Amino acid sequence: MKHVFSRSLAIRHLVCGSCNGCEHELNALAGPDYDITAEGFELVASPRHADVVTVAGPMSDAMRAPARAALDAVPHPRVVIAIGDCAAGVGPWCGVGTAGDGAGAELGAEVVVRGCPPTPDQIKAGLREAAERLNRRLD
């Protein structure tokens, strides 16, 4: 099982009130220019199949309970990645109206990928860091 996450990583993404800029960059990872599947990374539909949860947005009130429920469904070991400045708690939408202090901050993100939005290469680097963290937990 050692270093299994360097060959396979299942990613569940949660949109927690983002403007969708981060989602556009995340979606680019599935295209031929970045092709995360070549590294064994894939986006999955169910949190029960995920190793990593990526979150974007400041955390809207409407998403707080569903995001927590989705995260609770992810088996251990797992890593949460904050994608973008809003999820990191420093974006333009944090604290506006019913928005919270950042989805990553509220869900305990271990990896933070800054940017508004971050580039696909930055997100890919964050996914690699998450895989390394998961591998260390198996050692």
Other beta carbons within 10 Å of 32: 7
pLDDT (average), residues 116-123: 97
Which residues on adjacent β-strands are paired with residue 41? Answer: 9
The span from the CA of 61 to the CA of 16, in Å, is: 9
pTM of the model: 0.93
What domain range is 77 assigned to? 4-138
CATH number at residue 8: 3.40.50.12280
Tokens coding 118: 């971050």
Please give the tally of structural domains in the chain: 1
92-96 contacts at long range (C-beta below 8 A, 24 or more positions apart): 92/116, 93/17, 93/18, 93/19, 93/57, 93/58, 94/58, 95/58, 96/58
Q: Which residue has the higher pLDDT, 137 or 32?
A: 32
Give Cα separations from 48 to 17, 35, 76 (angstroms).
22, 23, 10
For the stretch 4-52, pLDDT in tens is 555 689 999 999 999 999 999 999 999 999 999 998 999 999 999 999 9
**Beta carbons of 78 and 108 less than 8 angstroms apart:** no
